[in-house]
Amino acid sequence: MMTYTITTPLYYVNDKPHLGSLYTTMASDALARFQRLEGKQVMFVTGVDEHGQKIQRTAEGNNISPKHHCDQITRSYQNLWSRWGISNDRFIRTTSHRHQLLVEAFFHRVETSGDVYLGRQQGWYCVGCEEYKDEPPQAQSPCCPIHQKPLEWRDEENLFFKLSRFQSKIEDLISQPDFIWPVMRRNEIQNFVAQGLRDFSISRVDVDWGLPVPGYPKHTFYVWFDALVGYLSALLDDGGQVRIERLEECGWPASVHLIGKDILRFHAVYWPAMLISAGLPLPKQVFGHGFLTREGQKMGKSLGNVLDPEKLLEICGADAVRWYLLRDIQFGHDGDFQQKRFMDLVNNDLANTIGNLLNRTSTMARKWFEGSVPTHRDEIDYAHPLVTTAETTITIVRQSMPSMAFHDAAEAILKLAIAANVYLNETAPWSRMKTPGNEAEVADDLYSVLEACRLVGLLINPLVPSLSERLLNQLGLSIDGNDWSKGLAWGQLQSGALLPPSQPVMQRLELSSSL
C-alpha cells in the first residue's frame, strides 16, 4: 500500500512553541487521523529545526550552549505535542547524528550533479527569517518587514546551489494544478519564479552552530538546506540504515507538506530543485495556510499578546481549541483569534448542539427503554430526513477532509446535529410518551436521533478526537472498536444495547479574563 506522508514544518527552537506552530500541527493531525480512518497507511512527520544563527544567538543570549538550549526547547515541543494528543509517527531533530549523515549524502548527490559552486555572497540578511532579502546594496539601514529588526550586511564566500538551472522545471511543476494549494497562493509563487530564479547560497562561514560541509573547512550548511533534508531523515529514522536509496520504501515522496504561507517559497521552489538535483521524487503537494492574528492584531512578544499553547490547553482543553481553529477559519486563509467568538462557538456547537443533544436523547432512552438503545420497528427508511442529511454529511466530510477544507467538514457535521435537534423538537417524544400506545413510534424517533449522534461522533473524530471518544462512549462504543467505513452506514447502532451511565461530554467554556 502507498504510504500517505504528511509533514509539518520543522519548528525553530529559538523559542518555546507558539500558536502558529500549534495551528499547523493540529491541522496536520486532523488530516493524519482522517486518512488513517479511511484505511490509508499514514506517516505523520513533525520535528524541530535546531541549527543556524538565530538559535546560536538565542543560546548565547541565555548564556547556555546551543546544544543545551536545543535540548530544552525540543523537550518542550515533544511534551507539548504529547499533551495535545498529536498523533505524529515521527519526530525529527536536526541535531541527530542520523540526520547529519543524510545531509552529507544528499549534498554529495547535489555536488555530483554539478549543482554546487563556490562564490561570493553579498547582501542584506535577516537572522529572524534566516534569509537574504532583496534590498539593494546601497539601501540605508534597511529593516525586515516581518521582524522589524535591522538587516545585517553580509559579504562572504559561500557555496551556491545552481537554482537558475531549474527555471523551466520549476515553472512546469508550479503550474500543475495540485502542486501548490490553495490555488490563490500559486500566483504569488509564479510571479516570483517569473522574475528569474537566482542561485542561492547553501553554506555559511560565520556560523558555528550548523552541520559542517564535507570538503569545505570553515563552512557550515545554511540552515534551510539542512532543515528541508530533515523531512527525509525523519522517514529514515526507523533504526535501519541511513541510505537515500531506502527513501521510497519509507514513505517518500510526501503526499503533502503542510506549512505556513511565509515559507512557501522554500518548499515550492528551492526544495523541489534540490530534490531534482539529488535525483529524488518530488512532494505531491505543498499547502500554505494563512496566518493567525489575535483580536485583529499581529501576535508578538513586544505586544504581549501571544497565546501560549500550554495555557490554552490547561484552561480550555484541546477539543475546544481544535474545534474553534479548524471550524471557524477557512484553512488556507488568514484568521483572527477572538476570545468571545471562541467561547460562543465552543458553547453553542459543542456543549449545546452536540453535547446536549446526546445527553437529553440518551436520558430519555435510559428512562423509558430500560437503560438501552430503543428498538426501531421498520427497515431503514431512506427518505427519513435524518438519513438523507447524514448521507449528505458523510459525502461532504469525505470530500472536504482530504482537501483540507476542515471548516466545510465541521460545518456539515454541525448541520447534522442541528437537523437532529430540530427533529427531536418536532417529534417531541417527551409529550408523546404521555399518551399510552406511542412507545413504538417514540422508540423509532429516539433511535434515529441517537444514530445521528453516533455518526456525529464518528465523523468528528479527526477534528476533535477526545470529544469524539466521549460521544461514542456514551453510546457504549469507541472509535477503535469500529470499522470507520462500515460504521458510516446508517443503522449500525445496535437496538437493545445497554447505555452507560450518563456523563456530560463537553464542559462549557467560561472565561472571565483574557487568555
| Residues flagged as binding site for Zn(2+) | 126, 129, 144, 147
Binding span for ligand MSP by CB under 6 A among 17-25, 349-357, 377-385, 491-499: 17-25
Residue 325 vs 405, nearer CB to ligand MSP = 325
* DSSP structure string for 67-111: HHHHHHHHHHHHHHHHHTT---SEEEETTSHHHHHHHHHHHHHHH
Residue 21 vs 53, nearer CB to ligand MSP = 21
In contact, 257 and 28? CB cutoff 8 Å: no
Interface with ligand MSP (CB under 6 A), residue from 49, 50, 408, 469: 49
Interface with ligand MSP (CB under 6 A), residue from 70, 116, 213, 227: 227
Q: Is 456 in the site for ligand MSP (CB under 6 A)?
A: no
Binding residues with ligand MSP: total (CB under 6 A): 19
- What is the smallest separation between the CB atom of 284 and ligand MSP, expressed in angstroms? 17
Interface with ligand MSP (CB under 6 A), residue from 253, 260, 283, 487: 260
Q: Is 274 in the site for ligand MSP (CB under 6 A)?
A: no
Interface with ligand MSP (CB under 6 A), residue from 3, 5, 21, 461: 21
521524487: which residue's cell? 281
Q: Is 259 in the site for ligand MSP (CB under 6 A)?
A: yes
- What is the smallest separation between the CB atom of 36 and ligand MSP, expressed in angstroms? 23
Residue 174 vs 263, nearer CB to ligand MSP = 263
Closest CA to 318 of 3, 30, 7: 30
Interface with ligand MSP (CB under 6 A), residue from 6, 9, 268, 321: 9
Radius of gyration (Cα) for the chain, nearest Å? 26
Q: Is 26 in the site for ligand MSP (CB under 6 A)?
A: no
Alpha helices in 330-384 (DSSP H): 339-345, 357-368
- Tell me how far apart the alpha carbons of residues 272 and 275 are, in angstroms, rounded to a whole number: 5
In contact, 9 and 94? CB cutoff 8 Å: no
Residue 280 vs 499, nearer CB to ligand MSP = 280
> Is residue 283 reached through a cis peptide bond, with omega within 30 degrees of 0 on the bond before it?
no
- Tell me how far apart the alpha carbons of residues 453 and 468 are, in angstroms, rounded to a whole number: 10
Q: Is 20 in the site for ligand MSP (CB under 6 A)?
A: yes
**Residue 467: Cβ within 10 Å count:** 24
- Burial label for 366, CB within 10 Å (0-12, 13-18, 19+), is middle
What is the footprint of ligand MSP within residues 85-114 (CB under 6 A)? none
Q: Is 207 in the site for ligand MSP (CB under 6 A)?
A: no
Joined grid coordinates for residue 385: 430526513
Binding span for ligand MSP by CB under 6 A among 138-146, 257-265, 392-400, 458-466: 257-265
Interface with ligand MSP (CB under 6 A), residue from 291, 398, 507, 508: 291
- Which residues line the annotated binding site? 126, 129, 144, 147
Residue 291 vs 484, nearer CB to ligand MSP = 291
Q: Is 368 in the site for ligand MSP (CB under 6 A)?
A: no
What is the footprint of ligand MSP within residues 296-315 (CB under 6 A)? 299
Residue 12 vs 84, nearer CB to ligand MSP = 12
Local structure of 23: helix, strand or coil? helix
- What is the smallest separation between the CB atom of 228 and ligand MSP, expressed in angstroms? 5
Q: Evaluate the CA torsion angle 440, 441, 445, 446 in order and state its sign.
A: negative
477534528: which residue's cell? 463
Closest CA to 260 of 167, 146, 101, 156: 146
Q: Evaluate the CA torsion angle 125, 127, 128, 130 in order and state its sign.
A: positive
* CA 413 from centre of chain: 20
- Residues forming contacts to ligand MSP in the complex (CB under 6 A) are 9-12, 20-21, 23-24, 49, 227-228, 230, 259-260, 262-263, 291-292, 299
